[in-house]
Amino acid sequence: MIIYFSGTGNSYSVAEKLAVALNDRAVPLIRLQEEPDAFDLTKETKIGIVFPVYFGDIPQPLEDYLKTAALNPSTYFYGVATCGGSFGVSLYHLREILKSRSCKLSYGRVCYMIANSTATWKKEVSYDYRKLDGEAKVVKETVQAVTDRKVDTSLMKPSLVGKIMASGFVKKLGMKRFAVSVDPDHCVGCGICVRICPAHNITVQNQKAVTGSHCAHCMACVHACPHGGMLVNGHKIKKENQYRHPEVEMKDLFLR
C-alpha cells in the first residue's frame, strides 16, 4: 500500500506512478481516516508514505493518523517527500513517528517539484515545469530500492536549517501567512473545495463554503476554485496562477 496526501497533485502523481511500477495501490489518507475498517495496515508487507512538505515538516493530518493507526513493526516502510524547496525535518520526523510506534522508516527520498505556495505571495507567477523532470528518476530509483528492500536513512538527519524551518515560531508564522478563508462575494457554493480538500476541512452551508479549524495549508481549495472564492491571507490567486500537476486532472484529486 502507498498512503498519500496531496493538495495540487504532486504527491498524487508520485504515489500513482509508484503504485503502477510496484503493482501496488495508492490510497489517499482521507480514505484511511474515514473508512478504517476497510483497511488493515498490519497485513501490509510494505507501506509507502508520499507527502508534500509544509513548513519544513509533514502534513499535520498525516502525523495525527500515523500516531494512532495500527501498524506492524515487521512492515517495510519507505517515504517520499515532495517539495519545491527544503524538505526540512520531514523525513526525520516521519522516522521518529514510526519509531515511536515500534516501526522503522527504512528508506527515504526527496522529489523536488513545483511549490504551489508561490502564487500566494507573488502577483505574477511563471511556473518552471522543468522542475518536474526529476520525478521519473526518483520514482525509478525508489521502485528499485523498495524491490530490493534497501535501507538508506541518509536524508533522515535534521539539518540546522531544517530545524529552524520546522520550529514552532516559523510554523506558526507560516500558518498565519497561508491562512485560508472564503470570499463570500465570489463563492457560489459549487462544492469543488469540499470535494478536493484532503483534510475534510470545508463544508457548504447556505450555498457558501465554510472552512473549519483543521486546515492543512495544502492550498488545494485555493488552486481549484474556478470562481476566486478562496483567499490566502486575505488575498486572491489569479486564475492563470493556479497550479496543478500537469499530468493530473481535477477529478483525480476529488476525494468525495
Instruction: Report pLDDT digits (tens) over 114-160.
Output: 998 876 667 778 899 999 999 999 999 999 999 999 999 999 987 77
197 shares a domain with 99:
no
Is the same domain home to 148 and 200? no
* CB 28, CB 191: distance < 8 Å: no
Which residues, 6 or more positions from 256, have their beta carbon under 8 angstroms from its beta carbon? Answer: 30, 194, 195, 200
* Final residue in a domain of this structure, among 169, 188, 217: 169
Q: Mark which of 169, 196, 220 sits at the end of a domain.
A: 169
Cell of 35: 473508512
- Whether residues 120 and 141 fall in one domain: yes
**Within this chain, do residues 197 and 125 fall inside the same structural domain, yes or no?**
no
Q: Which of 169, 199, 232 is a domain's end point?
A: 169
pLDDT 10s digits, 5-27: 999 999 999 999 999 999 999 99
Q: Which three cell numbers stand for residue 54?
A: 509544509
CATH number at residue 227: 3.30.70.20
Q: What is the pLDDT of residue 166?
A: 60
pLDDT of residue 50: 98
> Cα–Cα distance between 232 and 211 in angstroms, integer?
12
Task: Say which residue, 173 or 214, is predicted with more confidence.
Answer: 214
Dist CA 90 CA 116 (whole Å): 18
First to last CA, the chain: 20
Residues 17 and 105 grouped into a single domain: yes
Per cent of the chain over pLDDT 90 is 80
**Residues 6+ away with beta carbon under 8 Å from 205:** none
Same domain, 35 and 159: yes
58 and 164 fall within a common domain: yes
Residue 63 structural domain: 2-169
Alpha-carbon distance 167 to 173, whole Å? Answer: 10
- Does residue 167 carry a pLDDT above 70? no
Read off the pLDDT of each residue in 99-123 and give the average, rounded to a whole number.
90
**Same domain? 140 vs 187:** no
pLDDT band with cut points at 50, 70 and 90 for residue 85: confident
Residues 161 and 186 in one domain: no
- Using 50, 70 and 90 to split pLDDT, how confident is the model at 37? very high
The number of distinct structural domains making up the chain is 2
- Residue of 85, 15, 91 lying closest to 50 (CA atoms): 15
CA of 42: how far to CAs of 30, 48, 74, 241, in Å? 18, 13, 9, 42
